[in-house]
Amino acid sequence: MGIDKRTHDREFVRTFFTTPTAEKGVEDSAKKLRGGIGLRGMQAPDVWVPDNEDATAPSMRGEGAENIAKVVAEGGADFPGEIHPRVVWHRDDPETRYEGFEQMLTIADPERGAIDHIDGFVIPEVGDIDDWKKADEFFTLVETEYGLAEGSLAMSVIVESGAAEQAMTKLRDEMGKPTNNLQRLFMLVIGEVDYTKDMRAITPTGSLPSWDEIRHNTSSAASAAGLISVDGPYDDIRDIEGYHERMTDNQSKGLLGIWSLTPTQVVEANKGPLPPEDGYWLIEAGDREVKLEDDDGVQVYRGDRIGLEETDDGYVLTVGGDRLELDDDGVREELLDLVSYVPSMGDIVDSMEEFEAAKEAGRGAIAMTQAATLRIDGVEVDVERDRMWDEATYQALMVPISLFQDVYENRPDQHEELAAMYSEDVVERAMDVGN
Amino acid sequence: MGIDKRTHDREFVRTFFTTPTAEKGVEDSAKKLRGGIGLRGMQAPDVWVPDNEDATAPSMRGEGAENIAKVVAEGGADFPGEIHPRVVWHRDDPETRYEGFEQMLTIADPERGAIDHIDGFVIPEVGDIDDWKKADEFFTLVETEYGLAEGSLAMSVIVESGAAEQAMTKLRDEMGKPTNNLQRLFMLVIGEVDYTKDMRAITPTGSLPSWDEIRHNTSSAASAAGLISVDGPYDDIRDIEGYHERMTDNQSKGLLGIWSLTPTQVVEANKGPLPPEDGYWLIEAGDREVKLEDDDGVQVYRGDRIGLEETDDGYVLTVGGDRLELDDDGVREELLDLVSYVPSMGDIVDSMEEFEAAKEAGRGAIAMTQAATLRIDGVEVDVERDRMWDEATYQALMVPISLFQDVYENRPDQHEELAAMYSEDVVERAMDVGN
Amino acid sequence: MGIDKRTHDREFVRTFFTTPTAEKGVEDSAKKLRGGIGLRGMQAPDVWVPDNEDATAPSMRGEGAENIAKVVAEGGADFPGEIHPRVVWHRDDPETRYEGFEQMLTIADPERGAIDHIDGFVIPEVGDIDDWKKADEFFTLVETEYGLAEGSLAMSVIVESGAAEQAMTKLRDEMGKPTNNLQRLFMLVIGEVDYTKDMRAITPTGSLPSWDEIRHNTSSAASAAGLISVDGPYDDIRDIEGYHERMTDNQSKGLLGIWSLTPTQVVEANKGPLPPEDGYWLIEAGDREVKLEDDDGVQVYRGDRIGLEETDDGYVLTVGGDRLELDDDGVREELLDLVSYVPSMGDIVDSMEEFEAAKEAGRGAIAMTQAATLRIDGVEVDVERDRMWDEATYQALMVPISLFQDVYENRPDQHEELAAMYSEDVVERAMDVGN
């Protein structure tokens, strides 16, 4: 199977949740780990990362490695997601690399009983491809030391340097070479804060740059090498709306996973890439898109930026500062340019089934119609849009469905919440689509 | 000659027009092909692509290959553009690749009499560089089988996977190696729909992401390897304005060609990258740029977003929500920041000739002046801008002229329309510039 | 030491200032060179580039090379920045490359007495990595010819072709190979005008595209190979505000240096990447961010785009066309989303010291609070934001401080102006941070 097939158990990772491994001056230094491994349902991440690097004080990391082994040995069997501890590493510091190797040896030691529930390790601060190979070699040594199959431990990296950004373009050539086991690679996770430092970027307020290019490059490299791309942490944990906007932007780049710092962020990020329960219409009001309010099937705009008025010989449409005198067709066209529809999971499943039926009947392309009645300043206008669907459209729109199917197969603990979100019927049909 | 000189007959491709090759249940399954090959003038594309892949039902592709040969044998000699049929291919499916090879053998068979008019083939769904080499090898086999010179058939690819995105960065190293004929490469065409699928990107409305990075990477790779970059299809065939905006954005990235799905789109895309017949002024009105209306040489703004008022001691300029009290120089400067001039073909030719004369006279840099009288809310203000021209400016602004010259040399069937657009005189002088 | 440590004297270059080397028809053809080498303080660039390429007429370049040697021999010892003359080069023209080699031989000739003050040469119009190696070889020949240590002359390139854009991704693999001395590489400088030509990009007005991707790719390659990235010229020398916006955007990409065409631009670009003397608040007013006016510690907004009104049961906040009825918490949250704080050098130093103290005390993360009283339409609202600082935050915010420290160590001629900007105390503490 080509490496550009995602070859791990999970084909999608929505959530990457980190937890400190050992805290000083508390009765149970592993308390947070016990909290993390106890998470279930939408609060439980697809990938849980006991973080023995930045989230844990350097002096506590020895104890942290032992805590990981202990807690995972106890609770790992029942945890619904995958478990990938993060150990220390640095491309510029051999001492740190050796320390990371020792942490892996500790956590994976069969005597500690955690290894059956450890899916892999996360390596931060990697440099160029040869540095990745050093880490891969330690995975191999751990596997042989403990009688595990070579390549059975997944390796994920945090991409937080220009060197690592370049290394991603070499993976397809390097994976599968006789002297490495880089096929073990699983996630490419962006670390924007350290990347910002390595790139020596400055913003006036000290906020993070949006780093569009590294996000694209990571997503593209993941696609080329059959890996999964995950965006870095979103610091302002109170700003749920901003977290959503980041996810939406990521999704448009094929970056479907994101780091979560709190269970609340986990819930948001588990739902983020899934289609909404109910479809809705959007209208471009200046620089922002506004959700229209459904009033008995009529889509109502209540803002002040767009105005509509009926005149004897047509309409006057005002958008921001611009004033347009239009006839019936004109107003329809202008409004059609302003509105768009966000389909629900049910809508997507309906369209998929319709297209599959058309294919059955030997038709390669069909038109899907979206229609709505808009109401602006009390004036109602009917708009309608046709979209041609062919095989490619179908395949492209399969992505959220495939993600849902992957989630449903791998996360039985979320079945109830998913059924509550979408209804049993939609869930069932979504699982059938494409089969 | 280095590979970074464009080494094919065409140095520019504006339009890439696809046509289904065989349709079921119609009297003449090749009817659309006959329509396509009959196109002339602005309706005829620079590159015509009989599409034996997505546009044609799988069951009809055998007949499609024969239709291509038949129709091109009959009408190929008189077709004004190049002809590059698209055959099937997939990086992940040997059966499809072999099928593509057989389609090439059918279309190129000298017995069918089409090959003299076939310029090359388009290979979709390519993967990494080794996959491109597999396709190149089939071209070589076809050439030797039919006694054609090795490398005489151009190969163009559809870039629609992360693996292909990475492959583009290797072309300069791989082209010209003894065991391939990759110098045959001609166009790098982006396939956004399948790329979106391969990248697993999701947008709320199901619309395509704008994919800025893949467009840049394709343009840059084309520049590095002496190839021609072409953007993918624009689905909403009724939205001519949107199609134009896409072209303008593409052009700013050096992506001068675009896919066309209809003869109407062909006309738009043939004219798209050429300078306008008449120059005009633009003004930034909030988030959009508005064309000023020329009233006897005065440039008039009629919108509401920008307001101007004369006061006893100067002016009050309102832009959106902002209110500025300005003196004569102040208002000039503010307005100068808001307006810009789009030169006509004639304007560009004038500037070119002026600079060439200055060079003759031994001057390396001269100032070009743009001046206008603006009228806003009845208040008139004169603005003037100098731009320094040096050799680099001259070379950069040669691009649209070179494109025009390439078009004029290769498309005699468009001479009449071009002369009608620009006047004989401007056309003649444009052909002289740079020589 | 790894190549990804910046290995040259300067770890940062703010300013790259070019000067013509010889002018026809003036009494002293080297007059401009004498002016350039005489610059001091904020008017003197970090890197001065006597430009024997585009800025100098082809017929004058022989004399130009001699002028460089003469002027640098006389004044080089006292010049406060580094001196990197630009010689001619072209990837497609052997004659030009040989001419560039001869210019280097002339300028570096010990007999002329300039070489002790020449830090390196700038090579324009480079192509792929093998072309870079041709230039590197000439550096080596010059060094051996004149008894200089191999690799002692720094090589900087102008990236102005797609081929060069790709070459940058190979530097980490190529630098340090036995048959080259590419470790001599120092600056990667973008040449947008020629790049635009090479990419064959077109804009309606003939203005330069913003080229986000090449700027990112250059910054990332510099980071991966331990080099310094510098943006190209900003043509409109009167538009200081635009020059600043360009720098701010560059800085968010890690592109901390920029070309300067005039001493005025040098002053702006020397100060550009340094934190401001005084902190200030910004508010998002529609598409632009507006600086709030400090009135006795109250931050006042005077524009019309944002309105605030107190009502019996809360507030009415209007932003552009949108009208929001909010309670106390609501208005705080909305405003908090709109405002941001730009810290002064002093603020940054305070935070750094606070975090270092916390680390001393064994705390890995602390909350930094930013608070302000905002006044809009006379209505005052208190807002407060916490930001968590950990080691990574600290490291990322060290960048402007490290840059300042590098400047302070390498530019004693600017100490007075820096002390005047920031006060002796802040300067002193800034130099201590991180040590």
Per DSSP, the residues of C379-414 read EEEEEEEEEEE-HHHHHHHHHHHHHHHHHHHH-GGG
Lowest mean pLDDT among B114-128, C4-18, C200-214, C219-233: C4-18
Question: Would you call B209 and A393 a contact, using CB atoms and an 8 Å cutoff?
Answer: no
Q: Give the B window 374-433 contacts with A, CB below 8 Å.
A: none
- Which of B287, B323, B393 is nearest residue C287 as measured by Cβ atoms? B287
Q: Are B275 and B345 in contact (CB under 8 A)?
A: yes
- Judge whether C219 is closer than 8 Å to chain A, CB to CB: yes
Q: Looking at the complex, report in whole angstroms how far the Cα of residue C326 sits from the nearest Cα belonging to chain A.
A: 16
Question: Would you call A224 and B54 a contact, using CB atoms and an 8 Å cutoff?
Answer: no
- Judge whether C320 is closer than 8 Å to chain A, CB to CB: yes
Q: Please report, rounded to a whole number, the percentage of residues in chain B having pLDDT higher than 90.
A: 82
- Judge whether B131 is closer than 8 Å to chain A, CB to CB: no
Work out the pLDDT band at B3, boundaries 50, 70, 90.
very low
β C379-389/B379-389 pair status: unpaired
- Which of B217, B224, B393 is nearest residue C193 as measured by Cβ atoms? B393
Task: Give chain C positions within 8 Å (CB) of A196.
Answer: 254, 396, 399
Q: Are B196 and B208 in contact (CB under 8 A)?
A: yes
β B15-20/A379-389 pair status: unpaired
Q: Looking at the complex, report in whole angstroms how far the Cα of residue C74 sits from the nearest Cα belonging to chain A.
A: 36
Task: Give chain A positions within 8 Å (CB) of C212.
Answer: 212-213
Q: Give the C window 81-100 contacts with B, CB below 8 Å.
A: 91-92
Give every CB contact of residue B174 below 8 A, 6+ residues apart in sequence: B129, B133, B180, B182
- Whole-angstrom Cα distance, residue B346 to residue C271? 43
Residue B175 above 90 pLDDT? Answer: yes
Q: Give the A window 348-367 contacts with B, CB below 8 Å.
A: 348, 362, 364
Q: Which of C254, C290, C298 is nearest to C273 (CA)?
A: C254
Work out the pLDDT band at C298, boundaries 50, 70, 90.
very high
Q: C-alpha distances in angstroms, C332 versus A305, A380, C374, C382, C385?
A: 23, 36, 10, 7, 10
- Judge whether C1 is closer than 8 Å to chain B, CB to CB: no
- Judge whether C278 is closer than 8 Å to chain A, CB to CB: no
Residue C197 above 80 pLDDT? Answer: yes
- Judge whether C222 is closer than 8 Å to chain A, CB to CB: yes
Average pLDDT over residues B328-337: 92
Q: What pLDDT is stored for residue C363 in this prediction?
A: 77
Provide the 3-class DSSP secondary structure of residue A410: helix
Question: Would you call A92 and C213 a contact, using CB atoms and an 8 Å cutoff?
Answer: no
Provide the 3-class DSSP secondary structure of residue B428: helix
* pLDDT, mean over chain C: 93
User: Which of B51, B190, B200 best tests the A interface by mutation, with the highest count of A CBs <10 A?
Assistant: B200
Q: Looking at the complex, report in whole angstroms how far the Cα of residue A140 sits from the nearest Cα belonging to chain C.
A: 25
Transcribe A316-327 into DSSP letters. Answer: EEEETTEEEEE-
Task: Give chain B positions within 8 Å (CB) of C244.
Answer: none
Q: Which of C103, C133, C96 is nearest to C118 (CA)?
A: C103
The residues of B that are catalytic are: 390
Residue B287 above 80 pLDDT? Answer: no
Question: Would you call C223 and A304 a contact, using CB atoms and an 8 Å cutoff?
Answer: no
CB atoms inside a 10 Å sphere around CB B211: 22
- Whole-angstrom Cα distance, residue A294 to residue B410? 56
Dump pLDDT digits (tens) for B197-209.
Answer: 999 999 999 889 9
Largest interatomic CA distance in chain A: 86
- Which of B217, B343, B390 is nearest residue C206 as measured by Cβ atoms? B343
Give the torsion sign (CA, A396, A400, A401, A403).
positive
- Which of B256, B399, B403 is nearest residue C197 as measured by Cβ atoms? B399
Greater pLDDT, A305 or C204 = C204
Q: What pLDDT is stored for residue B4 in this prediction?
A: 43
Name the amino acid, one letter, at C27: E
Those residues of chain A that have pLDDT short of 70 are: 1-7, 321
Tokens of C388: 């968590």
Question: Would you call C322 and A285 a contact, using CB atoms and an 8 Å cutoff?
Answer: yes
Q: What pLDDT is stored for residue C217 in this prediction?
A: 98
Q: Give the A window 160-189 contacts with B, CB below 8 Å.
A: 169, 172
- Which of B198, B285, B320 is nearest residue A223 as measured by Cβ atoms? B198
Q: What pLDDT is stored for residue C321 in this prediction?
A: 67
User: Which of B245, B252, B292 best tests the C interface by mutation, with the highest count of C CBs <10 A?
Assistant: B252
Name the amino acid, one letter, at B93: D
Question: Would you call B224 and C163 a contact, using CB atoms and an 8 Å cutoff?
Answer: yes
Name the amino acid, one letter, at B84: H
E strands along C160-208, which residues? 185-190
- Judge whether B320 is closer than 8 Å to chain A, CB to CB: yes
- Whole-angstrom Cα distance, residue B417 to residue B40? 11
- Whole-angstrom Cα distance, residue A17 to residue A33? 11
The residues of C that are catalytic are: 390
- Judge whether A124 is closer than 8 Å to chain C, CB to CB: no
- Whole-angstrom Cα distance, residue C231 to residue C235? 12
Provide the 3-class DSSP secondary structure of residue A53: coil
CB atoms inside a 10 Å sphere around CB B35: 12
Question: Would you call B220 and C201 a contact, using CB atoms and an 8 Å cutoff?
Answer: no
Transcribe B130-161 into DSSP letters. Answer: HHHHHHHHHHHHHHHHTTPPTT-SEEEEEE-S
Q: Are A277 and A430 in contact (CB under 8 A)?
A: no
Greater pLDDT, A26 or C170 = C170
Residue C3 above 60 pLDDT? Answer: no
- Whole-angstrom Cα distance, residue C283 to residue C290? 5
Q: Which of A116, A94, A95 is nearest to A107 (CA)?
A: A116
Task: Give chain A positions within 8 Å (CB) of C12.
Answer: 200
Q: Which of C335, C403, C395, C401 is nearest to C370 (CA)?
A: C335
Task: Give chain A positions within 8 Å (CB) of B287.
Answer: 286-287, 320
Q: Looking at the complex, report in whole angstroms how far the Cα of residue C196 sits from the nearest Cα belonging to chain B.
A: 6
- Judge whether B193 is closer than 8 Å to chain A, CB to CB: yes
Tokens of B259: 């896919």
In CATH terms, the superfamily for domain A15-271 is Phosphoenolpyruvate-binding domains (3.20.20.60)
Q: What pLDDT is stored for residue B7 in this prediction?
A: 54
Residue B1 above 70 pLDDT? Answer: no
Dump pLDDT digits (tens) for C59-85.
Answer: 999 999 999 999 999 999 999 999 999
The C-alpha R_g of chain B, in whole angstroms, comes to: 25
Average pLDDT over residues B32-59: 96
Q: Looking at the complex, report in whole angstroms how far the Cα of residue B72 sits from the nearest Cα belonging to chain C.
A: 32
Q: What pLDDT is stored for residue B363 in this prediction?
A: 77
Residue B5 above 80 pLDDT? Answer: no
Task: Give chain A positions within 8 Å (CB) of C253.
Answer: 199, 201, 209
Question: Would you call C162 and B286 a contact, using CB atoms and an 8 Å cutoff?
Answer: no
Q: Looking at the complex, report in whole angstroms how far the Cα of residue C199 sits from the nearest Cα belonging to chain B.
A: 5
Domain ranges of chain C: 15-271, 280-393
Given the residues A390, A406, A413, A432, select the one marked as catalytic: A390
- Judge whether A22 is closer than 8 Å to chain C, CB to CB: no
- Which of C127, C205, C287 is nearest residue B342 as measured by Cβ atoms? C205
Q: Are C61 and C103 in contact (CB under 8 A)?
A: yes
Question: Would you call A399 and B200 a contact, using CB atoms and an 8 Å cutoff?
Answer: yes
- Whole-angstrom Cα distance, residue B417 to residue B423? 10
Q: How many residue contacts between A and B have a Cβ separation below 8 Å?
A: 126
Q: Are B126 and B132 in contact (CB under 8 A)?
A: yes
Give every CB contact of residue B241 below 8 A, 6+ residues apart in sequence: none
Dump pLDDT digits (tens) for A252-309.
Answer: 999 999 999 999 999 999 999 999 999 999 999 877 789 999 999 999 999 888 999 9
Average pLDDT over residues C184-198: 96
Q: What is the DSSP-derived secondary structure letter of residue C238?
A: T
Q: What pLDDT is stored for residue B2 in this prediction?
A: 40
Q: Are C348 and C271 in contact (CB under 8 A)?
A: no
- Please name every residue paired with A299 in a beta bridge, in sequence order, or none if there are none: A294, A374
- Whole-angstrom Cα distance, residue B386 to residue B380? 20
- Whole-angstrom Cα distance, residue C3 to residue B408? 51
